[in-house]
Amino acid sequence: MHATTIVLLAAATLTSAQATFQRSSKRGLVFVPSDSHPTDNQIWVEGNSDLTWYYNYGVSPSPAYSNRTQEEFEFVPMLWSPSNSFLSSVKSMISGGRNISHIMTYNEPDGQSSTGGSNVDPSVAATNWISQVEPLRKLGVKTGAPAVTGAPSGFTWLSMFFDACASQGTNCTADFFPIHWYGNFGGLASHIGQVAGTYPNKSIWITEYADNNDTLINTQSFFNESAEYFDRIDYIDRYSYFGAFRSDVSNVGPNAAMLTSDGKLTDIGSWYLGGAATNNIPSATGSFGVRVVPDIGAMVVALVAGLCVL
């Protein structure tokens, strides 16, 4: 029997065993808008979608969801990199009637721009946090710690950040700690434990995660294990899977994507929305058989650049 046939049969067995998926109020959307296929943007909020919140790496809500109230689909602003207008923008949304209850800060500040990081010096981030984030905490807005990478450099960067805050006379208090992880479940669970141990009595959000560039059966197993774990652990408040795009443009491997190259929900995509398995197999090729896998840094940087002009 051909190896590809074996893999597909194994995947079919797995999807049959996992025909439906538990629903969860913790699930959110890492929104990566599709300019080529704008109708894809509505898949995440249609029907019986399980998703309750989203972020888009920027401070402004996405136009695709302009008809959704904060109560219907909560938008969480992000201070992607140091900005002197973040505070006024969030306060403007609040005064305009949008109930902003949480914000996120600094996307992968220990990472380089080539890999989607904001590459921010900890002392610069601390100064900016004190002016732009601390005033929001006084308004009752809950703040997320800088969303560092899952590498050891993330812990080093956070330690330097909090030390820099203290040296400037401020206790930069984070209400929750975001986690980014790409890899297997064992590594993810270990990393979560390390974060929880380093910053005890704090909530955790997993705001980017996927088993990248792995086989379909491993990727689906990772998704099942991680979702069950997140839903079971009390101090994990929210999570958002990185895969809301088509498989032929996925920068984390086709099998991690929640849509096929034709825009149909994969099993993971349907499960994430709280639905049944679809048996739609993701592919790395598009309609014309051309493999298109953009760089993750280019994707995020382009996305943020677009948000900045909104």
List of domains in the chain: 28-273 (3.20.20.80)
Mean pLDDT of the chain: 89
CB atoms within 10 A of CB 37: 15
Greater confidence (300 vs 80) lies with 80
Phi-psi label, residue 28: left if phi above 0, alpha if psi -120 to 50, beta otherwise = beta
| CB distance 276 to 263 below 8 Å | no
**How far, CA to CA in Å, does 123 sit from each of 16, 23, 155, 216?**
51, 41, 15, 42
Mean pLDDT calculated for residue range 145-173: 97
Q: How confident is the model at residue 263 (pLDDT cuts 50, 70, 90)?
A: very high
What pTM value is reported for the model?
A: 0.87
Report pLDDT for 304. 47
For 170-196, write each residue's pLDDT tens digit: 999 999 999 999 999 999 999 999 999
User: Helix 216-232 and helix 185-198: axis angle, to 10°?
Assistant: 30
| CA distance linking residue 12 with residue 29, whole number of Å | 26
For 5-45, write each residue's pLDDT tens digit: 444 444 444 444 455 688 899 999 999 999 999 999 999 99
**How far, CA to CA in Å, does 310 sit from each of 35, 195, 235, 288, 303?**
15, 34, 35, 33, 11
Would you say how long the chain is, in residues?
310
Report pLDDT for 244. 98
pLDDT at 288 over 70: no
Report pLDDT for 20. 64
Phi-psi label, residue 274: left if phi above 0, alpha if psi -120 to 50, beta otherwise = left
The pair of three-digit structure tokens given for residue 152, joined into one six-digit string: 């050891």
The pair of three-digit structure tokens given for residue 257, joined into one six-digit string: 């994507």
| Of 197, 179, 89, the residue nearest 141 (C-alpha) | 89
| CA distance linking residue 107 with residue 265, whole number of Å | 28
